Chain A
Amino acid sequence: QSVLTQPPSASGTPGQRVTISCSGSSSNIGSNYVYWYQQLPGTAPKLLIYRNNQRPSGVPDRFSGSKSGTSTSLAISGVRSEDEADYFCAAWDDTLYGPVFGGGTKLTVL
């Protein structure tokens, strides 16, 4: 059972806007930065969003992150077939004294 809660799956057709939610608590999302990772099949996770809404260089601007209270979401505007992957949210947890993850959301582009 993951500390952060994500839907197990999401889907969209090419060009659609897709959002993936992630909820936590005051000890993690509520008091620390949120990170999002993309894991393509057979590869290591890759940083997509850091500090709630910042994109590393090289990440397309169709990916965006937002946070409100103890919840966060990842939005992909104009989803593409190459965006099919698993997406994980993460945040530092003050109780665990370490990072916690969501269970992951598998995105299917129909």
Chain B
Amino acid sequence: EVRLVQSGVEVKKPGESLRISCKGSGYSFTSYWISWVRQLPGKGLEWMGRIDPSDSYTNYSPSFQGRVTISGDKSMSTAYLHWSSLEASDTAMYYCARHGEEHYSCFDYWGQGTLLTVSS
């Protein structure tokens, strides 16, 4: 069974750093891209960026370039999303999602989400 399991709820202060994780299981982790998707409270879905776990190549949406860093550890079958300095506007639900068999595709499996609250 394919599963993406994300790290838990986070409550942080503005200016703090954070890394959240997404662990894949039930499939060959290096064979499928992983993306991160943001959902602001009560809003739609926004693609942030993706990683190819086989070589750690990443690309980002222009809206998130420079604001976050995506990385991966294929030995742990885990992808990460990192902020160096959080802002209140980063308060949202964050999902990791696995791309389908074709690289230029959308997502077939999703993590359960990580809720981030940034508040002073």
Contacts and interface: CB of A to CB of B under 8 A. Distances in A.
Interface of A: 2, 32-33, 35, 37, 44-47, 50, 56, 88, 90-92, 94, 96-104
B45 A32 contact: no
A36 B17 CA distance: 34
A104 B95 contact: no
Main secondary structure of the interface of B (DSSP, over half): strand
Interface of B: 35, 44-47, 49-50, 59, 61-62, 95, 97, 100, 102, 104-113
Contact of B106 (A2, A33, A94, A104): A33
Main secondary structure of the interface of A (DSSP, over half): strand
A92 B106 contact: yes
Given A44-B95, A45-B95, A88-B44, A97 B59 contact: yes
A45 B47 contact: no
Contacts of A94: 104
Given A97-B59, A103-B44, A90 B108 contact: no
B100 A50 contact: yes
Q: Which of B45, B100, B111, B113 has the most CB of A within 10 A?
A: B45
A29 B108 CA distance: 17
Contact of A99 (B62, B107, B113): B107
A11 to B, nearest CB: 19
Nearest to B45: A101
Contacts of A35: 105-107
A47 B109 contact: yes
B22 to A, nearest CB: 12
Given A44-B112, A104-B44, A99 B95 contact: no
Q: Which of A2, A44, A45 has the most CB of B within 10 A?
A: A44
A50 B61 contact: no
B59 A99 contact: no
